[in-house]
Amino acid sequence: MPTSILGEVDGLPGVAAAGACHGSALQCPSCGSSHVAQVLGDNGGISFVCTACGHSWS
């Protein structure tokens, strides 16, 4: 079993690249990493968190 979810995702057939419907991958505005998670906020809004540096934004 992989120690990271990234190992799991890389092995799945038919997984689309992040941001495929928008034409570019979502990147952290702080560090530029493409390791970004989409999260649901307390008021139902959508926010993003960089899993590389911890920066969050909406």
In tens, the pLDDT along 3-57 reads 666 555 555 555 444 444 444 579 999 999 999 999 997 788 999 999 999 999 9
Whether the predicted model's global pTM rises above the 0.85 cut: no
Quick one: pLDDT at residue 25? 78
Quick one: pLDDT at residue 43? 84
Q: Give CA–CA dist 29/36, Å, rounded.
A: 10
> How many CB atoms sit inside 10 A of residue 41's CB?
10
